[in-house]
Amino acid sequence: MIAVVVVRDGLLPAGGAETVAECAGRAVLIGSQASIAAVALHGIAVELTLVERDSFQPASFAGDLAAILADESIVVLPASPDGRDLAPRLAAGLQRPLHAGATAVNADRVDLVRNGGRDLHRVVPADRFVATLQPGARGVIVEQLLPAPATRNVVSPATQLVDAVVTAVLPPDPATVDLAEAARIVGGGAGLDGPERMQQLAEIGLKLGASVGATRVVTDRGWAAHERQIGTTGVVVSPHLYMAFGIAGAVQHTSGLGDPAHIVSVNTDPHCPMMQLADLAIVSDANETIDALQALLA
Amino acid sequence: MSEISPTTEIVVCLKWVFQVNEPSDARFAGMSPADHAALELALQCAEHIGGEVTAVTVGPLAADTVLREALACGVAHAVRIDAPTATDSADVATMIASTADKASWIWCGDYSTDNGSGSVPSFLAADLQARQALGVINVSFEGEGVSATRRIDGGRREVLDVRAPAVISVEGATARLRRASLAALRTAATAAIDVVTPATPIRTTQHTVHTYRPRARALAAPSASDALDRVRALTMSGATATAQHDVETLAPADAAARIVDALRDWGYL
Amino acid sequence: MTDVDVIVVGGGPAGSCAAIVAARAGLSVVLLERGPFPGSKNMYGGVVYPRILDELIPNWWEEAPIQRWVTRRSTMLLTETQALTVDFRTEAWGKAPYNGATAYRPDFDHWLAGHAEAAGAQLLTSTTVTGLLRDANGAVVGVTTDRPDGDLRARVVIACDGVNSFLAKEAGLYEHTDAKHFTLGVKETLALPKEVIDERFGVRGREGVDIEIIGGTGAVNGGGFVYTNLETVAVGVVLKISKLASQSMRPEQIIANLKAHPGIAPLIEGGEIKEYSAHLIPEAGLKMMPKMTTDGMLVAGDAAALCLAAGIWLEGVNFAMASGMYAGESAAEAIKVSDVSAAGLGGYQRRLSETFVLKDHRKLRRAPELVLSDRVQHLYPQMIANVVERMFRIDNPAPKPGLRRILNQERKRAGIKRRDLMRDTLDGYRSFG
Ligand SMILES: Cc1cc2nc3c(=O)[nH]c(=O)nc-3n(C[C@H](O)[C@H](O)[C@H](O)COP(=O)(O)OP(=O)(O)OC[C@H]3O[C@@H](n4cnc5c(N)ncnc54)[C@H](O)[C@@H]3O)c2cc1C
Ligand SMILES: Cc1cc2nc3c(=O)[nH]c(=O)nc-3n(C[C@H](O)[C@H](O)[C@H](O)COP(=O)(O)OP(=O)(O)OC[C@H]3O[C@@H](n4cnc5c(N)ncnc54)[C@H](O)[C@@H]3O)c2cc1C
Ligand SMILES: Nc1ncnc2c1ncn2[C@@H]1O[C@H](COP(=O)(O)O)[C@@H](O)[C@H]1O
């Protein structure tokens, strides 16, 4: 098993380290300033192959990697934006099946999150395949005593295939900074019965000094700006306090949550993941609870 | 690579999905918000760049409903490739590619709500040797090209200059689907839909279904600097581990009171 | 210049039946529904009496999406602490051709609309009718909808848009509508395992129970019901709106109290709430009914206040289906002789009058008021329950008292004038007898 991690400006993507750990420390880092990213993997990585490239170009990267990975039977990428984009290209190039969005990957079993985080599909894979690993699913232990990884640089001319041209990389949207750095966050999910609920959460947040986040379903509905979306494909946050109203707790959401000290969850379904994660799990109608809470704090 | 011309072919890929909350009720099945956005942008693409839009779905007869919705909203043609929606993403892409091989612009949702691999668009791009811009949250049409903003890691975003042929997958909030006119709705109800039987064999990966439970998670070493955080990091279970607390069923008013108490106990109030 | 022969507004039981009949008569029909599918917006569960479908959909019972066949019908008289139940059960209702059944409205309405489509009607969903189109003489010639260029013209519009019909009002068919003509229906659907329901209600297989309740709604005049579905039980109350206001009580409270009543609690114990819904019911029958026709338009179902809500009866679906059918027939009739004026559509009023639709309403015209009257609501239940309690209480060594004496004592104790009792009994006899 070998991990393929796309690196930007020496930064690992969400789930990068986890993916390397899932592959017992073997990885290919491809992108800009891969060598810097390699340092961040000390204590996790055992054997690294670095491919230095400037901007992310999925088609060309897949071309570059095909040769390097030819003899690798199992290739795993983090299900981060770049990993999600590159994995199918690789699978197509290597002509192998792709198992996308896994929580666990090994030679004889792959667990995949499906149906908005509700189901887990267990697959017995073919002997050669490509998979993407859901960030936040496994965690990592950094072993301080592990020796620095054996590192090899591949200097081959970049394959030139048609790719879109990157014209700019924008820093995190200013509107999200409060969210990304917030120590307290109130989150709204599909359990809410209307857009005005997000407004109420904002007002409750004001009283608690908390920022407002939302799930993908909520941003899709346009009830909250997309930059309010917490999760793998949204903003990654690390609050001390997270209050989830009508949120199921799909891994794609919780993987963006960090490790809050305290989680409150209000949900009508006592069995959903968010309720399992919660320090205070309350089975109740989120909407009426929001009304009551707003009244209490007023 | 086809050059942009008035006869530009634009394809939008629409998947017929069950609603996560109504997993077995076909009456609630339809397009995901992401596909709605893709459809709207495909139509705008035709308005800006010129050309005709074809809606394609891979699915059973019932999936015609999403095509009729698309026809009502103004696509010129509708094609249903007769295969299960559960067909492997790579094959779904191959099937779509075989009908969309001349397409200059292919619009997709960024992921389907059921399968959610987000991989069909990328497979499509590979099959068609097209450019790809995936997980897009903002689109603007500029001359013959498209400027697309996509999410990348750490809340950063990347602006791409996209030229045909290209596959663009968009999030649900990127565009709001226009409302079909009454007349269009009526004609769409009986409009012709081309049904194609796939050349490629239909493969669906065998799997067993289980309810999702967070995987026991290796605890990240304390990265936090301040002593308190470190203690917490060491003692607290992470967001994806399970907290050992019983679930309380409360009336909303009591729930609110309970929450306030907890916030006091924890020192947030 | 018309787009279609008939526009039917509303995909409920009335609308679908109107569409089926009109389409089968060879007319081009468009059925407009605001929800994503017919029934999606309609109240979950209830008892339906589809006998009227016999001609329309022969052997409907073999295909209708029903939950349970009602083989047991109880009428319950509740006081704070007592419950008197008159219980009737029959095997016959559990066999073809059946009588009543519990059904989920989203399933039932969706199924019925399917027949309208099969008959050739075009069903357009997620489309809300926003107004009427009229010609120079004020005759209705179509509708406006919330869609872009959403006008649709037809020779006849059949308004089946449900209680408080804004189309019937816009057409000026209601002289006056009055809050006191409506009751508020509130219903909870509680999930329980089938075996538990079977055991608690003493039924098997597809057998089901329909309990209608008088009293039990505390200070607010009204009634209640309990229905068994396959794996849910519906508990509901029907409340006099004026009283709700004056007593400033929340319907939720009243349902909660009913659920807690010793006569009801054991039946639903442990049920997990699946749905809570509230909806107006046209209650006043003949007193509130609108004109049924105007030039180019007919009204059917709840839109025409044809719901029969008379205490131990709560029947709307069958009245809706029947009136819908008759509206469809009358529209076809009028279009054939190309006179769609109110006169040309007059066959509708006639059909309603000649059939159970208005006959039952006439027969039961006093019932709603009687059943919701303070005496019936607050005094009689106590009196009757006390009488029965004393009949069966053993006060040895005291000998058993005679019924007449108990009756008299309890009547006095309840503070009921003999005159009132006589009159109400007579009214009751005229209505229900
Ligand atoms: C590739 C990919 C990337 C994704 N990225 C993200 C991401 O970055 N962020 C993200 O959030 N999601 C993401 N998702 C979507 C994710 O899988 C889930 O679909 C989403 O997080 C679910 O959001 P939700 O919990 O609000 O909605 P649902 O899953 O619909 O859950 C709604 C919850 O509300 C509860 N509820 C319903 N009514 C009430 C009520 N009245 N009171 C209280 N509770 C109620 C229900 O019990 C349920 O638990 C991604 C998915 C994929 C496939
Ligand atoms: C709590 C409660 C319990 C009941 N229990 C029973 C029972 O057990 N048995 C029984 O027989 N009856 C019962 N009823 C009465 C029954 O529900 C109604 O009488 C019946 O539904 C009337 O049918 P309808 O087709 O006239 O109207 P509805 O069923 O109300 O259908 C109206 C339809 O029109 C649509 N619509 C409305 N306005 C527009 C518009 N502007 N544009 C497009 N579409 C529109 C609505 O979405 C709806 O689908 C009950 C009612 C309540 C409130
Ligand atoms: N069966 C299908 N038919 C048509 N389009 C599809 C199908 N499956 C996926 N797509 C398209 O690919 C996008 C991403 O889906 P997925 O790769 O399954 O997450 C969807 O939003 C659709 O635009």
Q: Please say if the pLDDT value at position B1 is more than 60.
A: no
Residue that wins the pLDDT comparison between C395 and C233? C233
Which residues in A lie closer than 8 A to residue B220 (C-beta atoms)? 139-142, 259
Q: Which residue's CA is the nearest one to ligand 3's atom 8? A: B15
Residue C152 touches partner B, C-beta closer than 8 Å:
yes
Q: Please say if the pLDDT value at position C251 is more than 50.
A: yes
Strand C272-282 vs strand C293-294: parallel, antiparallel, or unpaired? unpaired
Which residues in A lie closer than 8 A to residue B88 (C-beta atoms)? 97
**Average pLDDT score over residue span C8-33:** 98
Name the closest ligand to CA A88: 3
Average pLDDT, chain B: 87
Contact between B185 and C127 (Cβ < 8 Å): yes
d(Cα A209, Cα A185) in Å, to the nearest integer? 9
The letter for the amino acid at C298 is L
d(Cα A123, Cα A107) in Å, to the nearest integer? 11
| pLDDT for the residue numbered B244 | 55
Q: Please say if the pLDDT value at position A190 is more than 70.
A: yes
Contact B27 C30 (CB under 8 A): no
For an interface test with A, the pick among B104, B152, B265 (most A C-beta atoms closer than 10 Å) comes out as: B152
A38-63, pLDDT tens digit by residue? Answer: 999 999 999 999 999 988 999 999 99
| CB-count exposure of residue B190 (10 Å: 0-12, 13-18, 19+) | exposed
C50-68, pLDDT tens digit by residue? Answer: 999 998 999 999 999 999 9
The letter for the amino acid at A116 is G
How many contacts does A have with B, using Cβ atoms within 8 A?
A: 329
Which residues in C lie closer than 8 A to residue B180 (C-beta atoms)? 147-148
Q: How many CA atoms lie within 13 A of C139 on its CB side?
A: 16
Judge if the beta carbon of residue B135 lies within 6 A of ligand 3: no
State the pLDDT confidence band at B219, using cuts at 50, 70 and 90: low
Q: Pick left, alpha or beta for residue C215 (phi over 0 → left; psi -120 to 50 → alpha; otherwise beta).
A: left
Q: Please say if the pLDDT value at position B239 is more than 90.
A: no
Contact B182 C40 (CB under 8 A): no
> In the numeric block, which tokens belong to residue B168?
């663009």
| pLDDT for the residue numbered C433 | 67
d(Cα B85, Cα B62) in Å, to the nearest integer? 11
Dihedral Cα C56, C59, C64, C68, nearest 10 deg: 130
> In the numeric block, which tokens belong to residue B194?
């081309």
State the pLDDT confidence band at C309, using cuts at 50, 70 and 90: confident
Average pLDDT, chain C: 90
Residue B28 touches partner C, C-beta closer than 8 Å:
yes
* CB-based contacts of B265, cutoff 8 Å, min separation 6: none
Contact C127 B182 (CB under 8 A): yes
Contact C148 B27 (CB under 8 A): no
Contact B90 A98 (CB under 8 A): yes
| pLDDT for the residue numbered B237 | 32
Contact A139 B269 (CB under 8 A): no
| pLDDT for the residue numbered A198 | 96
d(Cα C344, Cα C11) in Å, to the nearest integer? 25
Residue B218 touches partner A, C-beta closer than 8 Å:
yes
Q: Which residue's CA is the nearest one to ligand 1's atom 27? A: A190
Q: What percent of chain C has pLDDT over 70?
A: 98
Q: Please say if the pLDDT value at position A271 is more than 90.
A: no
Grouping H, G, I as helix, E, B as strand and the rest as coil, residue C183 is: strand
For an interface test with A, the pick among B3, B94, B106, B119 (most A C-beta atoms closer than 10 Å) comes out as: B119
Sign (positive or negative) of CA dihedral A198, A199, A205, A207: negative
Q: What percent of chain C has pLDDT over 90?
A: 58
Chains that touch C (3 or more CB pairs under 8 A): B
**Ligand 2 pocket at CB < 6 A:** C 9-15, 32-35, 38, 41-43, 46-48, 128-129, 160-162, 185, 187, 236, 279, 281, 301-303, 307, 314-318, 320
Name the closest ligand to CA B109: 3
| CB-count exposure of residue A119 (10 Å: 0-12, 13-18, 19+) | middle
Q: Please say if the pLDDT value at position B228 is more than 70.
A: no
Nearest Cα to B209, choosing from B23, B67, B68?
Answer: B23
Query: Which of B149, B221, B245 lies closest to A280 in CB terms?
Result: B245
Q: Please say if the pLDDT value at position C75 is more than 50.
A: yes
Grouping H, G, I as helix, E, B as strand and the rest as coil, residue C185 is: strand
Contact between A115 and A154 (Cβ < 8 Å): no
| pLDDT for the residue numbered C299 | 98
| pLDDT for the residue numbered C44 | 62
**DSSP codes, A101-157:** EEEEEETTEEEEEETTTTEEEEE---SSEEEEE-TTSS-----TTSPPPEEEE---P
Judge if the beta carbon of residue B92 lies within 6 A of ligand 3: yes
Distance C42 CA to ligand 2 centre (A): 6
For an interface test with B, the pick among C124, C129, C146 (most B C-beta atoms closer than 10 Å) comes out as: C124
Contact A116 B159 (CB under 8 A): no
Contact C147 B181 (CB under 8 A): yes
Min Cα–Cα distance to chain A from B218, Å: 5
Q: Which residue's CA is the nearest one to ligand 2's atom 12? A: C316
Contact B186 C124 (CB under 8 A): yes
Q: Please say if the pLDDT value at position B3 is more than 60.
A: no
CB contact residues (below 8 A), chain C span 83-122, against chain B: 106, 110, 122
Q: Which residue's CA is the nearest one to ligand 3's atom 14? A: B111
Min Cα–Cα distance to chain A from B192, Å: 31
State the pLDDT confidence band at B235, using cuts at 50, 70 and 90: very low
Q: Please say if the pLDDT value at position A131 is more than 90.
A: yes
Identify whether C399 is preceded by a cis peptide bond (ω within 30 of 0).
no
Q: Please say if the pLDDT value at position C195 is more than 80.
A: yes
Query: Which of B134, B163, B243 lies closest to A85 in CB terms?
Result: B134
d(Cα A55, Cα A166) in Å, to the nearest integer? 7
| pLDDT for the residue numbered B240 | 40
B166-190, pLDDT tens digit by residue? Answer: 999 999 999 999 999 999 999 999 9
Quickly list H helices, C67-149. 105-118
Q: Please say if the pLDDT value at position C380 is more than 90.
A: no
| pLDDT for the residue numbered C311 | 64
Question: What residue of C is the nearest CA neighbor of B187?
Answer: C122
Q: What are the E-state strand segments in C79-206?
A: 83-89, 101-102, 122-124, 129-134, 140-145, 152-159, 182-191
CB contact residues (below 8 A), chain B span 141-160, against chain A: 147-160
Question: What residue of A is the nearest CA neighbor of B116?
Answer: A114
From A49-58, A197-206, C242-251, the region with the lowest mean pLDDT: C242-251
Q: Which residue's CA is the nearest one to ligand 3's atom 7? A: B15
| CB-count exposure of residue C250 (10 Å: 0-12, 13-18, 19+) | exposed
Question: What are the b/e assignments for A12-32, b being 16+ CB within 10 Å?
Answer: bbbbbbbbbbbbebbbbbbbb
Residue C333 touches partner B, C-beta closer than 8 Å:
no
Which residues in B lie closer than 8 A to residue C150 (C-beta atoms)? 181-182
From C33-42, C44-53, C104-113, C371-380, the region with the lowest mean pLDDT: C371-380
**Average pLDDT score over residue span C331-353:** 96
**DSSP codes, B124-185:** HHHHHT-EEEEEEEEEEEETTEEEEEEE-GGG-EEEEEE-SSEEEEE-GGG-PPPPPPHHHH
Q: Please say if the pLDDT value at position C45 is more than 80.
A: no
| pLDDT for the residue numbered B222 | 45
Q: What percent of chain B has pLDDT over 70?
A: 87
Min Cα–Cα distance to chain B from C66, Å: 16
Residue C147 touches partner B, C-beta closer than 8 Å:
yes
Which residues in C lie closer than 8 A to residue B181 (C-beta atoms)? 147-150
**If you count them, how many residues does chain A have?**
298
> In the numeric block, which tokens belong to residue B33?
């918000």
State the pLDDT confidence band at C288, using cuts at 50, 70 and 90: confident
Contact between A5 and A16 (Cβ < 8 Å): yes
State the pLDDT confidence band at B245, using cuts at 50, 70 and 90: low
Residue that wins the pLDDT comparison between C391 and A120? A120
Contact C148 B186 (CB under 8 A): no
Q: What are the E-state strand segments in C192-251?
A: 207-215, 222-228, 232-240
Q: Which residue's CA is the nearest one to ligand 1's atom 37? A: A191
Write down the pTM of the prediction.
Answer: 0.89
Residue that wins the pLDDT comparison between C95 and A23? A23
B96-137, pLDDT tens digit by residue? Answer: 999 999 999 999 999 998 888 899 999 999 999 999 999 999
Q: Which residue's CA is the nearest one to ligand 2's atom 46? A: C10
Minimum-distance ligand 2 atom for the alpha carbon of C41: 47
